[in-house]
A and B are shown apart, each in its own frame.
Chain A
Amino acid sequence: MEFSSILFYVFGFCFVASSAMLVIARNTLKAAMLLILSFFSVASLWLLLEAEFLAITLILVYVGAVMVLFLFVIKMLNIDQSTIRAKFTTYLPLGIFVSLVVIAQIALVLSAGQFDLENVEEPARHIAGYSNITELATDLYTTYVYPFELAAVLLLIAIIAAITLVHRKDSRSKKQNISEQVSVQASERVRLASISSTKSKEPK
Chain B
Amino acid sequence: MIALSDYLILSAIVFCIGLAGIFINRTNIIMLLMCVELILAAVNTNFIAFSYYSSDVAGQIFVFFILTVAAAEVAIGLAILTLMYRNRGSIDVDVTNSLKG
Contact = CB atoms under 8 A, between A and B. Distances in A.
Interface of A: 2, 4-5, 8, 12, 15-16, 19-20, 22-24, 28, 31-32, 35, 38-39, 42, 45-46, 48-51, 53-54, 57-58, 61-62, 65-66, 69-70, 73-74, 76-77, 79-80, 83-84, 87-88, 91-92, 94-96, 98-100, 102-103, 106-107, 110, 117-123, 132, 135-136, 139-140, 144, 147, 151, 154-155, 157-159, 161-162, 165-166
B30 A73 contact: yes
B83 A165 contact: yes
Contacts of B52: 49-51, 123
A122 B2 CA distance: 8
Given A28-B30, A102-B16, A166 B83 contact: yes
A15 B13 CA distance: 10
- Mostly helix, strand, loop or mixed at chain A's interface? helix
A102 B58 contact: no
A106 B17 CA distance: 13
Given A31-B31, A51-B60, A95-B23, A45 B68 contact: no
A50 B26 CA distance: 36
B31 A91 contact: no
Contacts of B78: 69-70, 73, 162
A16 B71 contact: no
B30 to A, nearest CB: 5
B76 A161 contact: yes
Interface string B19-32: 11111111110110
B68 A151 contact: yes
Interface residues of B, number: 70
B82 A73 contact: yes
Given A73-B78, A95-B22, 14 more contacts: A8-B2, A8-B6, A16-B14, A19-B14, A23-B18, A38-B38, A45-B7, A46-B44, A48-B2, A54-B63, A62-B67, A62-B71, A98-B23, A161-B79
Interface in B42-67: 44-45, 48-49, 51-53, 55, 57-58, 60-61, 63-65, 67
Contacts, number: 220
28 contacts: A8-B2, A8-B6, A15-B10, A16-B17, A19-B14, A20-B17, A23-B24, A23-B38, A31-B31, A49-B51, A51-B51, A54-B63, A66-B70, A95-B21, A96-B20, A98-B20, A99-B16, A99-B17, A103-B16, A110-B8, A117-B8, A122-B3, A140-B64, A154-B68, A154-B69, A157-B72, A158-B75, A166-B79
Nearest 5 A-B pairs (CB), nearest first? A95-B23, A158-B72, A23-B21, A99-B16, A99-B20
B58 to A, nearest CB: 7
A128 to B, nearest CB: 18
